[in-house]
């Protein structure tokens, strides 16, 4: 059995997220669509292992996944097969031969998520499905001060929609970069892992800081309270992109 | 009566082109949609005059239009009103007060059209509605030699879908720039005016040159023949953008 690693981009607009639920065909999920094409390609059922889930409506530039299969196809032929049969809103950027024990989720050491915001009233015709609109201008200096409190190793329970669970809600956020690019405000989050809705709640909270509705100095108390209701809104999914997943070179 | 000039961008994917036909409400045309909002805004029927038509599925970064109306609204308030009530795939970038006699079509002195091509098999998820896919790599040096024959004042009848007409088919093409940007091949055409389908037929013909199906040296004969069947295919609409319309500064 070969182990094949995929670098995937997708427009999540019309999907119920990455993850197929149970044994259903999952045609409304990105995982389900890729599995259907992979199974047809190799003539046997294939399970695609993603680096992590993305929610309904969230996009990816750089999702990573792997699958085990017996096939004689070259990596290039696998890529071409996928891109011929996948819908146009899911694309396979690269295909690599992986080590037999490589696992997209378990071996991931860090991830980057990008949140794209367009402020003001200017139209945004061509990127309208890929940004969050914010009519007010945002105070990026205040947002940067707030983001600095989020960086580090913390219990991020207040910034997640995780229900009662015995699993740890401690994560390390390595950095948050806030920058203007192509007329947009972009937030790039890099960390060792993210809880359910964590990037969207951090983005929503930082936007509230940018609008002056909250002070940057509230962030430490919100973290300490571990109470979801004290953090900001969950920003909408269409501005969010899974941007990059990193692995130890040895794992690949 | 004031004369208001608009700078407009739109995603033409779901429209039957710019021009409303006859007196119909034209909700499937971009002109019709803008007229409906303008009429509601000023409380009287408004006719929007565009710099020219775009075909079904063709986009615009910089369409120009004007309309006459009595209203006390500021240019900024007019822009905000349009952007609040227009669909998300039509946006008003700027609103200006124009001279009483300014006419978007009659005063236009030159136009730029952009044609976007993605070559090879790489996926193109986020721009899929805005580019023409070409599986083969293109010989841009040959395309540039062919484009050089198109530049100048010529009878472009062979490069148009104009049926029998007494109107002149002579136009002046000022320049064609062929360049790679953002991983795409882009063709920028600048001229004093363009015939029906002219940019798409020039783009299709240049792509055939790039694929080696035609020689650059054929272009002069094609022009001289004035026969549509001797030029290349009409490239698909979704790669085409009306990029910019220019006016004499005095006219504005």
The three-state secondary structure class of B32 is helix
Contact A62/A242 with Cβ under 8 angstroms? yes
Distance CA A134, CA A58 (A): 18
Determine phi and psi for B102, rounding to 5 degrees: -60, 135
Structure tokens at B122: 């790489």
B154-183 pLDDT tens trace: 999 999 998 777 899 999 999 999 999 988
Which band of pLDDT confidence, cut at 50, 70 and 90, is reported for residue A126? very high
Residues of A in contact with B81 (CB under 8 A): none
Distance CA A99, CA A96 (A): 10
The three-state secondary structure class of B116 is strand
Per-residue pLDDT at A20 exceeds 90: no
B189 bridge partner residues: B113, B176
B120-125, long-range: CB < 8 A, 24+ apart? B121/A79, B121/A80, B121/A83, B122/A91, B122/A93, B122/B183, B123/A9, B123/A83, B123/A90, B123/A91, B123/A92, B123/A93, B124/A91, B125/A9, B125/A10, B125/A11, B125/A88, B125/A89, B125/A90, B125/A91
Distance CA A58, CA A242 (A): 8
Mean pLDDT of A142-164: 95
Q: What is the pLDDT of residue B133?
A: 94
Per-residue pLDDT at A166 exceeds 80: yes
Distance CA B116, CA B174 (A): 19
Q: What is the pLDDT of residue A163?
A: 78
Listed range (A92-106, A225-239, B46-60, B154-168) with the worst mean pLDDT = B154-168
Contact A122/B162 with Cβ under 8 angstroms? no
CB contact under 8 A, A123 and B83: yes
Which band of pLDDT confidence, cut at 50, 70 and 90, is reported for residue B25? low
Annotated active-site residue B55? The verdict is yes
CA torsion, ordered B26, B32, B38, B41, to nearest 10 deg: 30
Name which of B89, B123, B136 to mutate to probe chain A: the one with the most chain A Cβ atoms within 10 A of its Cβ: B123
Beta-carbon-side half-sphere exposure of residue A203 (alpha carbons within 13 Å)? 28
Residues of B in contact with A89 (CB under 8 A): 125, 128
Per-residue pLDDT at A240 exceeds 70: yes
The three-state secondary structure class of A206 is helix
**Region for A136 from its dihedrals, namely left if φ exceeds 0, alpha if ψ lies in -120 to 50, beta otherwise:** beta
Distance CA A107, CA B141 (A): 46
Mean pLDDT of B70-77: 97
Q: What is the pLDDT of residue B23?
A: 65
Looking at every residue in chain B, the average pLDDT score rounds to 95
Residues of A in contact with B124 (CB under 8 A): 91
Q: Which residues of A touch B (CB under 8 A)?
A: 9-11, 59, 79-80, 83, 88-93, 121-126, 128, 130
Q: Report ipTM (2 d.p.).
A: 0.89
Mean pLDDT of A85-93: 97
Which band of pLDDT confidence, cut at 50, 70 and 90, is reported for residue B24? low
Find the angle CA(B63)-CA(B181)-CA(B191) to the nearest 5 degrees. 40
């Amino acid at each position: 059995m070969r182990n094949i690693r995929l670098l995937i981009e997708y427009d999540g607009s019309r999907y119920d997220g990455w993850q197929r639920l149970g044994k259903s065909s999952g045609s409304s999920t990105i995982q389900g669509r890729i599995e259907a094409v992979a199974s047809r390609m190799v003539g046997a059922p294939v399970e695609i292992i993603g680096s992590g889930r993305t929610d309904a409506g969230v996009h990816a530039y750089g999702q990573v996944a792997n699958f085990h299969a017996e096939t004689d196809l070259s990596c290039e032929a696998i890529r071409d097969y996928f891109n011929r049969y996948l819908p146009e809103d899911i694309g396979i950027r690269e295909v690599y031969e992986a080590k037999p024990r490589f696992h997209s989720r378990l071996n991931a050491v860090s991830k980057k998520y990008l949140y794209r915001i367009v402020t003001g009233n200017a139209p945004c015709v061509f990127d309208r499905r890929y940004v969050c609109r914010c009519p007010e201008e945002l105070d990026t200096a205040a947002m940067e001060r707030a983001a600095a409190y989020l960086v580090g190793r913390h219990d991020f329970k207040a910034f997640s929609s995780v229900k009662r669970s015995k699993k740890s809600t401690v994560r390390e956020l390595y950095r948050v970069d806030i920058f203007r690019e192509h007329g947009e405000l972009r937030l790039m989050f890099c960390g060792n892992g993210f809880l359910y809705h964590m990037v969207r709640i951090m983005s929503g909270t930082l936007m509230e800081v940018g609008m002056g509705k909250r002070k940057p100095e509230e962030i430490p108390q919100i973290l300490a309270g571990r109470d979801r209701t004290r953090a900001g809104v969950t920003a909408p999914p269409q501005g969010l992109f899974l941007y990059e997943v990193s692995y130890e070179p040895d794992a690949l």
